[in-house]
Amino acid sequence: DAGVTQSPTHLIKTRGQQVTLRCSPKSGHDTVSWYQQALGQGPQFIFQYYEEEERQRGNFPDRFSGHQFPNYSSELNVNALLLGDSALYLCASTLTGGGTPEAFFGQGTRLTVV
Amino acid sequence: AQSVTQLDSQVPVFEEAPVELRCNYSSSVSVYLFWYVQYPNQGLQLLLKYLSGSTLVKGINGFEAEFNKSQTSFHLRKPSVHISDTAEYFCAVRETSYDKVIFGPGTSLSVIP
C-alpha cells in the first residue's frame, strides 16, 4: 500500500520564478491538504482539495494556488517566488467522510528560493 | 478558532529518564487530537491519536498521551527515552467535522547520552 508521495524532494528556484509541486495521496484517500513548514516552526495550513475543488484555505496569498486531478493527486503552484517562500512543503491525505481521521503525510518537498 | 500551544520549545533529557511534552488546545467543538514526530529532513509520522473513549492512549515507540477535557490538554509521555527519540514533536488538533489539521509550534526533544 503506497503512502503519500511527493515530488520533487528538493528544488532550488530564483526569486520571481514559478514552481509546481506534486502529491499523490495514500491509496483510498480522496482529500489532499498542503502545508508550509518554515525552519523551526510547525506546519501551516495552505489549502485543501476535495472533489477537484478548493474546500478550505489558510492565510496565504493568491500567489499560492492548487489543483486536484480526477485520480485525487494534487499540485501546488507558487508564483512570483519570494525568499520567504523557502520552506518544506508537506502534502497530507485523508478520506472525507469515512475511515480514520488522521492525516498521512508525505516526506515533503524542500524548496529553496535564492 | 482552533489553536494549539506547546509550552516547551526545547526539552533536553538524559537517556533512560522519563519525559513529558505538554500540549494545550482551544476549540469550541469536540476535536480529534494527535501527536506527530518529525526526524531531521523527513515528513511527519503519527505517534498516537485520541478520537474518543478512553482518555489514555498508547502509541508507537512506547509513547502515551492523556486527554484532559477540563484542562484542554493532551500531554505526551514516555517513561524511559532513548537516543533515537531525539526529534521534533508536534501536537495537532482537528475539528470533528472538518479535515483541516492545526499544528502547534513543536517541541524539540534532545536525548542526552
Closest partner residue to A43 (CB to CB) among B41, B94, B103 is B103
| pLDDT digits 0-9 by tens, A39-67 | 989 999 999 999 999 999 999 999 999 99
Distance (Å, whole) CA A30 – CA A49: 9
DSSP B53-106: S-SEEE-GGG-EEEEETTTTEEEEEESS--GGG-EEEEEEEEETT---EEE---
Closest partner residue to A42 (CB to CB) among B96, B99, B104 is B104
Mean pLDDT of each 10-residue bin along chain B, 113 residues long: 90 97 89 93 92 92 94 96 97 80 95 96
Chain B: residue nearest A47 by CA?
B100
Q: Does B101 touch chain A (CB under 8 A)?
A: yes
Q: Does B10 touch chain A (CB under 8 A)?
A: no
List chain A residues with CB under 8 Å of B45. Answer: 105
Q: What CA–CA distances, in Å, run from B112 to A69, B6, B61, B63, B69?
A: 47, 21, 18, 18, 33
